[in-house]
Amino acid sequence: MQLKKGYQQLIDEARAKIRTLSVADAQALQGDPNTVFVDIRDVRELEREGLVPGAFHAPRGMLEFWADPASPYYKDVFGSGKQLVLYCQSAWRSSLAAAALTEMGVPNVCHFEGGFKAWKEAGAPVATREPHHKA
């Protein structure tokens, strides 16, 4: 099957439209009251790998719904006016997600190079997320 565009072209096009931080620049924003780290990975990845301390979890599949004030799923963090630093495991999904939010008109959106894998490799702090067990 021949596609019109492959995943790499989609990522490249997204990255041409968004702001990408280095891991060091992202680390420097940790603890900034005007910045929110947004983890878009699946909850199982958070439980297995950990997350940036204090990050807000917004699964990629719900992101556009959570960001739109007209949606019944809207989350206030997306209208906070704070800088939103998105990340996933290797910066592929976060590239696409940052482009989608930017296209929607959400201000101050960026992501960081290399994703959570690069964050951990840089020795940046990692918080644990306990598995959620349904009773």
pLDDT, one tens digit per residue, over 38-79 is: 999 999 999 999 999 999 999 999 999 999 999 999 999 999
Query: Would you kindly state where each structural domain of the chain is located, as residue ranges?
Result: 7-121
Place of tokens 């959620």: 132
Q: Which pLDDT tens digit goes with each residue over 75-97?
A: 999 999 999 999 999 999 999 99
Q: Looking at the predicted structure, is the pLDDT value of residue 133 above 90? A: no
Q: How confident is the model at residue 130 (pLDDT cuts 50, 70, 90)?
A: confident
Q: Looking at the predicted structure, is the pLDDT value of residue 116 above 80? A: yes
Contacts of 123 (CB under 8 A, 6+ apart): none
> Can you give the pLDDT at residue 129?
84
**Residue type (1 letter), 69:** P
Q: Which CATH architecture has domain 7-121?
A: 3-Layer(aba) Sandwich (3.40)
- Measure the CA–CA gap between 55 and 4, rounded to whole angstroms: 35
Average pLDDT over residues 23-46: 97
Q: Looking at the predicted structure, is the pLDDT value of residue 103 above 70? A: yes
